Structure 1
């Protein structure tokens, strides 16, 4: 028996041509080329927050610097913008044309800053990032009337441990430790660079 007048639902095409694009929704200046990490951001974190960061970075299979740059990019410009950058090789993923054939340079083992007197309850984090990202973070921090390092620290704590955790619950450090951490953030106190090579600590 034949039935007429009944329309079948059209199947959705799975062709790549029908895949929605990631066009730039909002035009922003200065974020198409974020490949130069000339800015420096110093932030100390509670030990438990740093442990959470290490776990998350390992599970994502990224370096700590890459993860933090991507997180700060999403915070400032949105997840959509980060995905567009990734697809179009712009922003964080922009790769300038190489000038001739240069040898591939490999960095040494990751360095850790050790701040004398800071103690074991807070950990210094030094991140190199694009100046544009640092300046935009500084502008937002200025609107809340708090220091840039404090602003970023609170962002990371809430991002890694959730908004229901009051930061004071993490407090197990002495005021003297916090003071030295703040002095290090503001470059008033030098740190000693330490590298771990084959499980052994190497100074300098």
Structure 2
């Protein structure tokens, strides 16, 4: 009886070990790493850190922007903002006549310290940077919107915002040749500056014996 019990116990133990080994092996073989990003997207919200730096001058973008499209894009903002004159604050401040105003200046809204300490004015350029990536523009601010990566959409939205109580003159477009020349000069300066610095000690050393 004891031998039979031992035999049964041995088979049970062996079966358990085999099952455990199979479980570990299958887990290693079929392992699927966790995704770096969610498997779904929220319409109208950019993922990650938002769009990159705007390469095209804001004046050029706004010169061809569509205000009607900007008004449609602003509908995404209405969950947090109103824009009518005298409208109430919501999760975010009322945005009437925002273009040209000092940052963090709308009455009655509790702005983050990050935005209050930023200083400056909501110029077209500043708003373009803000809309591209709010967290990068003012790290630590309350804005949960990740950013608007499409420059054409930002330009259209800025055009619409300007029409709501600000009506400031639009920035002038920069001619492509001028923009390219400026970029080339900046690249050339960055490339030649180290060589010029390296040449300076050699020139000093060569001149020293003459003294």
Compare relative contact order (CA 8 Å, sep 6+) and give the higher one, 1 or 2: 1
- Structure with greater strand percent: 1
Instruction: Return the TM-score normalized by structure 1.
Output: 0.24
- TM-score, length-normalised on structure 2? 0.24
Going by fraction, where is helix more abundant, 1 or 2?
Answer: 2
